[in-house]
Amino acid sequence: MHESFAFGAGKVELSEDGAVAAVLHPSRGHSMLLEDGVIHDPTHYWGKGFVITSRGSHRFDAPAFTRWRQSGIDLLYQLGDLELRVGRRFGERWTETYELRNASESPVEVGSIAISTPWRDVYRSSKESLNGAVHAHLWTGGADAWTWAVPMDGSGPGLGLRLTEGELWAYSVESREGSSGSNLRGHLYLHPTDHARAPHAMGGQPQIVLGPGESYRWTWQLEWFDTLADFRASWQPLLDAPRLTAEVGETLPIETVDGPAELTSSAHGVQYAEASDGRRRSRIGVLFHKPLRELVEGRVRFVLDHQRPAELVDSRRFAFVPYDNDTGLTVLSGGWRDWSDARERIGTALLLQATRDRGWGDRAELDEALAGYQEFVRDHLVAADGTVADDSLHESRTRLYNFPWFVRFLLGQGDVAGAVRIIDRYYELGGDHFLAFDLGPLLAELADRGDDEVRARMREHLVRHARSFLAYGDDLPPHEVNYEQSMVAPLLELLLAAHHLDPSAVTPDDLAQRLPWLTAFAADQPDVRLRHIPIRHWDGYWFGLLRMWGDVFPHYWSVLSAAVYLSWPEDLVSPEDAGRLREAGDAILRANLVNFKPDGSATCAFVYPSAVNNRPAHVADPLANDQDWALVYALRFGLT
């Protein structure tokens, strides 16, 4: 039995124990929250959670006391020496107040406080995602903390949560087990602190000590908004910054409660800035980075010295493989395909090409390395008919994602005929129904090269492929994940290229309908790892050495969104929207520089939450694997 309360134009349903079971808006046929089944059950309902203290740890579920009111409910939970009082009030806005009180006669150290906010952030299929799920964008920067839950098709209204009292300093994830896979983000918990598990997370977690009778209190307020811009304009934060990256030695302007200020640093890496109104603090995260050329040349030097299997005797010794920064050893795939010597690792070869083509690095050394890699490709990866193998051992199935990457490499080596064979083979294997990356730009490029027959065939591939995916509408075929940013971005790349070639085949309306699908994957949090970075929450498990699920920010394939934004025709949007797209694209490319160090070492995945399944996180995976794509795209789109 659920009790229902009006909330703006929608309603909130509470379970018998007073937790929030569903949040509904009349424009949507689904709750904004997870429904029971798969990973979700009443133990994870909104408002339940746990504490970790010096006097023991407790989860809270059934309240010791409940008082129903006309406008909401009051709850009391007994947590050992602590009492947690919760008040929920509904109306035009939904307000929740939490007060944790030490009821004992001795101080208690509170190492973590967690409240479940189980947003419906799941990928059952593209159609179900676009019509029945939300992206949950979180920011836990102290007093300015907020959450924006937006339908995955980018339409309004979304649900905005804003902290109005107290501070939130972390968020964590539960329910990410091997069986849950890549299509479920998990349960998201908000924390005033998660010091007990990850004291370093998000710039540092506060220690909360409650003396006898003392309390820690926080309040948040939820409201429906048509757009993220409307939500963000509904209050004035203590601290923000118009941009979040700069080269070392440059200055970044910031906006504080006391007026404008500046940040600078002589060190490469993330820096934090704080502001306070005397009662509450806020924090933002910015990146100061070495010049792009220094990072690229340092990275190229590192991979040539450390990330080739020199111990092999055949041309496989010219491949690029993952590298464990902790041990200094290359990593053997052992059947784990995302650690193979092919697939995404070709991004490193493309980085060498881009470095050479810019006149950076040692030209003779780069030519030699690329010639060796081309020999490896010819000997072990690309068959005479253009089929691309998944690895040099051929232990797994043919994977269509791989094909355009090797097209790009062969074009860079001047082998147009080899590139065309791969494209034709891609379509022979059913590529019309698959969204490989970079395909639209490659087809457009090949449509301008070669003889008349090749150019005509490439144009035919492009238009036919685009029409196939227009016919799918919002019911896209599943890929390695049922629905994800790296399906929508290559879809738009494909449609943009076809529109440029034949505007009657792909109309401006076709493009305008799908652009919000991509922009909805990201928000504008004031952290360089988050702003404009699309949500991806499985890559640490598949590509990293820690094999950890949870949000990866930034993941290098966020650059696919940047490629779309920076290629978007200005005549298809307003000047203001064109400027926003360019700003977002540039911000994504620059944010990805955070995963590279001046010595050339790198990480393939930074798992952002403070903890995942109770394991400390907010950590850079020690594996350098496939992140070099971020530098490839930075060079391709002229980042300086």
pLDDT tens across 555-606, in order? 999 999 999 999 999 999 999 999 999 999 999 999 999 999 999 999 999 9
Cβ partners under 8 Å of residue 471, min gap 6? none
* Rounded distance between C-alpha atoms, residue 491 and residue 218, angstroms: 43
pLDDT in tens, 230-285: 999 999 999 999 999 999 999 999 999 999 999 999 999 999 999 999 999 999 99
pLDDT beyond 60 at 327: yes
Q: Which of 526, 78, 624 has its CA nearest to residue 302?
A: 624
Between 485-501 and 559-567, two packed helices, what is the crossing angle to 10 degrees?
30
Mean pLDDT of 479-494: 98
569, two tokens? 């025709």
Burial class (CB in 10 A: 0-12, 13-18, 19+), 387: middle
Average pLDDT, the chain: 96
Q: What share of the chain has pLDDT > 90, as a percent?
A: 96
pLDDT beyond 90 at 527: yes
pLDDT in tens, 20-32: 999 999 999 899 9
pLDDT beyond 60 at 411: yes
Mark out the alpha helices in 166-256 (DSSP H runs). 228-232
User: Could you count the other beta carbons within 10 Å of the beta carbon of residue 64?
Assistant: 12
pLDDT beyond 60 at 383: yes
Instruction: Please say whether the beta carbons of 186 and 178 come within 8 A.
Output: no
Between 346-357 and 629-636, two packed helices, what is the crossing angle to 10 degrees?
30
Residue in the structure block whose two tokens are 């994977």: 399
pLDDT band per the 50, 70, 90 thresholds, residue 1: low
Cβ partners under 8 Å of residue 149, min gap 6? 32, 119, 134, 135, 136, 137, 158, 159, 160, 161
* Rounded distance between C-alpha atoms, residue 510 and residue 492, angstroms: 10
CATH number of 3-235: 2.70.98.40
Q: What is the pLDDT of residue 449?
A: 84
* Rounded distance between C-alpha atoms, residue 623 and residue 325, angstroms: 6
Q: Which of 523, 595, 597, 586 has its CA nearest to residue 559?
A: 586
pLDDT beyond 60 at 118: yes
Instruction: Please say whether the beta carbons of 80 and 55 come within 8 A.
Output: yes
Mean pLDDT of 211-219: 98
pLDDT in tens, 538-555: 999 999 999 999 999 999
Beta bridge partners, 58, equal 51
Q: What share of the chain has pLDDT > 70, as a percent?
A: 100
Q: What is the pLDDT of residue 39?
A: 85
pLDDT in tens, 346-380: 999 999 999 999 999 999 999 999 999 999 999 99
For the chain, domain boundaries: 3-235, 245-289, 292-412, 521-612+620-640
pLDDT in tens, 35-64: 998 789 999 999 999 999 999 999 999 999
Q: What is the pLDDT of residue 260?
A: 95
Q: What is the pLDDT of residue 179?
A: 77
Instruction: Please say whether the beta carbons of 396 and 390 come within 8 A.
Output: yes
Burial class (CB in 10 A: 0-12, 13-18, 19+), 313: exposed
pLDDT beyond 90 at 333: no
Q: What is the pLDDT of residue 99?
A: 98
